Amino acid sequence: MKILVTGVNGQLGHDVVAELSVREISCKGVDISDFDLTNEAAVSEYIREYAPDAVVHCAAFTAVDKAEEAKELAFSVNVTGTENVARACKEISAKMVYISTDYVFPGEGETPYEVSDKQGPKGYYGYTKLMGEEKVKEYLTDYFIVRTAWVFGVNGNNFVKTMLRLGKEKPSLTVVCDQFGSPTYCPDLAFLLCDMVVTDRFGTYHATNEGFISWAEFATEIMQQAGLATKIIPVSSEEYASKAVRPKNSRLSKSSLDAAGFTRLPPWQDALARYMNELQ
Selecting among 98, 125, 143, 275, the annotated active-site residue is 125
Q: CA dist 176 to 95, 109, 260, Å? A: 39, 17, 35
CB 56 within 8 A of CB 82: no
Residue 107 and residue 191: Cα distance in Å, rounded?
27
Strand stretches in the chain, DSSP E: 2-6, 26-30, 54-57, 95-101, 143-148, 151-152, 172-176, 180-181, 184-185, 203-206, 213-214, 231-235
125 is catalytic: yes
Rounded to whole angstroms, the maximal C-alpha distance in the chain is: 56
Go through 127-142 and write b for each residue having 16 or more CB atoms within 10 A of its CB, e for each that does not: bbbbbbbebbeebbee
Q: CA-CA-CA-CA torsion for 9, 12, 16, 17, nearest 10 degrees?
A: 10
Residue positions annotated with a catalytic role: 125
